Amino acid sequence: MMRQLVFPRRPFAAAGLLIAAIAQAQTDGFVAPYVPTVEEDVELMLDVAGVRPDDYVIDLGSGDGRIAIAAARRGALAHGVQLDPELVELARASAARSGVSERVAFLHGDIFEADIGRATVVTLYLFPDANLMLRPKLLAELRPGTRVVSNSFHMGEWQPDVHDTSARSSGGVLLWIVPARIEGEWLLETDDGTFSLVVQQRFQEIDVDISIDRDATGSWSGLAAGSATLTGDRIRFDAESDTVRLSFDGRAGDGVMEGYVQMVHEQRFFVGRWRALPAGASSP
Ligand SMILES: C[S@@+](CC[C@H](N)C(=O)[O-])C[C@H]1O[C@@H](n2cnc3c(N)ncnc32)[C@H](O)[C@@H]1O
């Protein structure tokens, strides 16, 4: 996709200046101007993302470094990526003054080239078009469960899991949890039989269609899929017939899904394990 290009280094106080800056767009790789997040919203972004000391936070387009520095103040490790070398120096000096240089780094570079795979939290304050340009990279390179938090701007059809409108910024603070990729056909095995699953996925929204491949108990005829949810790598879905109700709860890993299934049959509860592999793989 073509990059839309803005640039400046100095924050813009007024909308008129911002528009003027955008009008001066140059083909230098900048996709958003330098407009720092207000301090209250920095803390709100970290609260909404639930940043803890065991997190690794990456701020893409880190400006003067305030978000990464605030994350480091909470005990997390953090780094910022910033295309303007002067802002990188400003952020490093600010980190040193804040006494968090050992936990935060600022890298001079382009957010589209950044290595983001180790992040548990990614923070953004870019333009809407920039979020959309970044979306494929976020979905492809971040691990399922990674939290992405944005000041003000959406991600198109990828609906936020949380939209906190208490922010000072009128657009609020938005949070997405990166979903595992599970679309396709799966063969799911339990102790009592085997199912075929067809998963349709649009970001974190999933539909699970379930059919019986082998029914060892003979009690599943007429089984129909119920609700299904995906949060990061956590998948839950139900199926029921007139005589049995099945609740699957598990995790999606690399080419495998597995967990526990609770079966309710004739007012008795059974719990067993389930495991699913992509249809066509050797055996679940
Ligand atoms: C709106 S500011 C946000 C700064 C900081 N994240 C904050 O919230 O205070 C956007 C920042 O992204 C930087 N930026 C824009 N395009 C970039 C790119 N392609 N690679 C790295 N940084 C970029 C800008 O220079 C600017 O500092």
Predicted local confidence at residue 266, as pLDDT: 83
Does the beta carbon of 67 sit less than 6 angstroms from any atom of ligand 1? yes
The C-alpha atoms of residue 249 and residue 273 are separated, in whole angstroms, by 10
Q: Which domains does the chain have, with CATH numbers?
A: 15-177 (3.40.50.150), 184-278 (2.40.128.30)
The C-alpha atoms of residue 11 and residue 77 are separated, in whole angstroms, by 26
Query: Within the chain, what is the greatest distance between any pair of CA atoms?
Result: 71
The C-alpha atoms of residue 193 and residue 215 are separated, in whole angstroms, by 5
The C-alpha atoms of residue 67 and residue 123 are separated, in whole angstroms, by 8
> Which pTM value belongs to this model?
0.89
Residue range 47-64, pLDDT digits in tens: 999 999 999 999 999 999
Residue range 155-197, pLDDT digits in tens: 999 999 999 999 999 999 999 999 999 999 999 999 888 999 9
Does the beta carbon of 131 sit less than 6 angstroms from any atom of ligand 1? no
Q: 214 pLDDT band (50/70/90 cuts)?
A: confident
As a whole number, mean pLDDT of residues 102-129 equals 97
Angle at 156 between CA 149 and CA 40, to 5 degrees: 30
Q: How far is the CA of 166 from the centre of ligand 1 (A)?
A: 23
The C-alpha atoms of residue 239 and residue 116 are separated, in whole angstroms, by 37
Question: 17 is written with which tokens?
Answer: 């200046």
63 — phi, psi (to 5°)?
55, -130
- Which position has the higher pLDDT, 202 or 11? 202
Q: 267 pLDDT band (50/70/90 cuts)?
A: confident
Predicted local confidence at residue 7, as pLDDT: 42
The C-alpha atoms of residue 32 and residue 30 are separated, in whole angstroms, by 6
- What DSSP element (H or E) covers 259? strand 257-265
DSSP 112: G
Predicted local confidence at residue 4, as pLDDT: 42
**Is the confidence at residue 13, as pLDDT, over 50?**
no
Displacement of CA 68 from its chain's centroid (Å): 18
- Which position has the higher pLDDT, 92 or 282? 92
The structure tokens 């067809």 sit at 198
- Which position has the higher pLDDT, 233 or 283? 233
Q: 220 pLDDT band (50/70/90 cuts)?
A: confident
Q: 18 pLDDT band (50/70/90 cuts)?
A: low
Predicted local confidence at residue 282, as pLDDT: 61
166 — phi, psi (to 5°)?
-80, 0
Q: How far is the CA of 83 from the centre of ligand 1 (A)?
A: 7
As a whole number, mean pLDDT of residues 53-82 equals 98
Displacement of CA 20 from its chain's centroid (Å): 33
Predicted local confidence at residue 279, as pLDDT: 94
Q: How far is the CA of 124 from the centre of ligand 1 (A)?
A: 8
As a whole number, mean pLDDT of residues 148-154 equals 98
Q: How far is the CA of 59 from the centre of ligand 1 (A)?
A: 9
Predicted local confidence at residue 265, as pLDDT: 85
As a whole number, mean pLDDT of residues 202-207 equals 97
The C-alpha atoms of residue 63 and residue 79 are separated, in whole angstroms, by 12
Does the beta carbon of 31 sit less than 6 angstroms from any atom of ligand 1? yes
User: pLDDT averaged over the chain?
Assistant: 90
The C-alpha atoms of residue 129 and residue 149 are separated, in whole angstroms, by 16
The C-alpha atoms of residue 92 and residue 90 are separated, in whole angstroms, by 6
**Is the confidence at residue 217, as pLDDT, over 90?**
no
Predicted local confidence at residue 143, as pLDDT: 97
Does the beta carbon of 32 sit less than 6 angstroms from any atom of ligand 1? yes
Flag the least confident range among 133-137, 222-226, 246-250, 257-261. 222-226
Residue in 46, 90, 111, 148 to alter for ligand 1 test, most ligand atoms within 8 A of Cβ: 111
